[in-house]
Amino acid sequence: MTITRPGRFAPAAATALAASLLLALPASAQDRPRPAPRPLQFKMVSPGVYWSKEGGNTGVVIGKDGVIVYDVTINAQRAQELQARIAEVTDKPIKAVIISHIDEDHIGGVSAFPKGVRIIAQAETDKLIKADIAAGRGVVPAAYAPTDVVGRRLRLTIAGEPVELLNWGPAHTSGDLVAWFPARKVAMAADIFCMDQPRPYIKPELGGSTLGWVKSAEAVLALKPKWVVVGHGEPQTPGNLRQYMIDSVRTRSEVAALAKKGMALPEIEAKVGEPQPSSVPLPPNVHQAQFSRAIYLEVTGTKAEAHH
């Protein structure tokens, strides 16, 4: 059996959905002025370390002679805003962009960065990006394909700043890349932790794994960071993430046991209290309440196909 769900967030789909909803409104509602986009939030985590939100979160580290950017927001406009905010706190140049994974809300703004900037991605993410480029799809132009590819672990110095790039196997997707800044005691982990959702957000369609998520989440905490910049939500302390992990592992064990007994997915979701989808309208290929689904697919060996 194959369960099909769309694979990744697509701004074009969001635009199409918004347009269809607009057409469904009465004329008087259509005539109302649309609210301006919220300004990009840019806040300090600790001295020399910042994060921003609106779209996927980003992380920024001000090194000795340059800036390291971890993820590039959802589109070029937001990426330009991000660079303007960086320029408010430093005049140092951007030396490198680290891509956490393939999702468009994290990589969609890459083309707004200076041409020739160093772009670093995990090997599995690099494959997905280059496959999209070859197929004429996706949001990363060929000129912004990754320049540096990481396997499981790479220690290097960028802009005078020591950084360790880490991957422990599939988690949110097949190619999640964590950036650990040991001198700052800050980890940037992107969607390994989506704190705007009550449970982990795993994408089997993109090679994600609930069992792998447990391994990766534990490994992030084993770094003993003071702060973790997450993919969605506020930066977290290890204590908050530890409780989130405990709750998620308990849920995984319960769902896996029920799936092994042959219980159907809808029954499992009802039994474990899978959270209902957000009341905020989401694009049709963004689903929220799906941790149980990801566990079910994994335990039963059911294949999930990605749509591009």
Comparing C-alpha atoms, which of 249, 290, 248 is closest to residue 266? Answer: 290
Domain boundaries, given as residue ranges, for the chain: 39-238
Per-residue pLDDT of the chain (308 residues; tens, 9 = 90+): 333 333 454 433 343 334 434 444 454 444 566 666 788 999 999 999 999 998 899 999 999 999 999 999 999 999 999 999 999 999 999 999 999 999 999 999 999 999 999 999 999 999 999 999 999 988 999 999 999 999 999 999 999 999 999 999 999 999 999 999 999 999 999 999 999 888 899 999 999 999 999 999 999 999 999 999 999 999 999 999 999 999 999 999 999 999 999 999 999 989 988 776 555 555 444 445 589 999 999 999 987 765 44
Return the pLDDT at 307: 44
- Pull the structure tokens for residue 11: 């701004």
Return the pLDDT at 278: 53
Query: Residues 100, 103, 109, 113: is their CA dihedral positive or negative?
Result: positive
Written as one string, the DSSP assignment of the chain is -EEE---S--HHHHHHHHHHHHHTS-HHHHTSPPPPPPPPEEEEEETTEEEEESSS-EEEEE-SSSEEEE---SSHHHHHHHHHHHHHH--PPEEEEE---S-HHHHTTGGGSPTT-EEEEEHHHHHHHHHHHHHT-SS--GGGS-SEEESSEEEEEETTEEEEEE--S-SSSTT--EEEETTTTEEEEEEEEETTSSS----GGGT--HHHHHHHHHHHHHT--SEEEEEESS-B-HHHHHHHHHHHHHHHHHHHHHHHTT--HHHHHHHHTPPPPPSS---TT---S-HHHHHHHHHHT-EEE---
Site of tokens 């070859």: 134
- Pull the structure tokens for residue 149: 């590819």
Return the pLDDT at 22: 42
Burial 244-271 (b: 16+ CB within 10 A, else e): bbeebbebbeebbebbeeeeebeebbee
What architecture is domain 39-238?
A: 4-Layer Sandwich (3.60)
